[in-house]
A and B are shown apart, each in its own frame.
Chain A
């Protein structure tokens, strides 16, 4: 199944992406100059693209992961259940990402 490898790929992307989270926190602890660098990077086109990708990777991994937890509990192994959960995780991940970014721009993240 193609989406099985996507779970792993998003996991690897999130692994690297924690560097961005750590950089943001360290910069906040360091002072206004360091925080300004992070802010400038995230506000740039490339930065925004990376954070958008990170948001999707996180949410897809979350929904896809919930699917795995359901399987761990012994449910959802019928063909139609597998299909529904897998497509559900994909659609939920994309929808939630777009929704969060719309909200983010509405409350002033567009700066």
Chain B
């Protein structure tokens, strides 16, 4: 009367991995990495045009252009997509190479701080130039 397969949960194995999966965060980062990647493929040409238009300009010219709505919106979209994308990308790199548990957690935390700080600083600067802050 041995029971080799003791059922500890009422949920089926399929039910456990459906939707968010066993890690409870599932493929969210994988998917967001692709969304932000495609966003930047679309944004690359406008961003290059904006940077090209600003070459050689002095502070007044650059500030005026960065503050114009279309340029500001293009750069804001690019900053959100790129900082989000790089945060996920660096986390993958950390998880691949840093195997010491506490060091890994510290590195992931530092990665979050860095990415968020770069994003917020850049967004603040653009909003200030746009006259909103």
Binding site for B on A (CB under 8 A): 8, 11-12, 14-15, 18-19, 21-22, 25-26, 28-29, 31-32, 35-36, 39, 62, 65-66, 68-69, 72, 100, 103-104, 107-111
Contact = CB atoms under 8 A, between A and B. Distances in A.
Nearest to B64: A28
Interface of B is mostly: helix
B80 interface: no
A107 B55 contact: yes
Nearest to A12: B93
Interface of B: 34, 37-38, 40-41, 44, 48, 52, 55-56, 58-60, 62-63, 66, 75, 79, 82-83, 86, 89-90, 93, 118, 121-122, 124-126, 128-129
B122 A25 contact: yes
B122 A21 contact: yes
B66 A25 contact: yes
B59 A8 contact: no
Given A25-B66, A25-B126, A26-B125, A19 B55 contact: no
A9 to B, nearest CB: 10
18 contacts: A8-B93, A12-B90, A12-B93, A14-B82, A18-B122, A21-B122, A25-B122, A25-B126, A26-B122, A29-B124, A31-B59, A32-B59, A35-B63, A65-B41, A69-B34, A100-B48, A103-B52, A109-B55
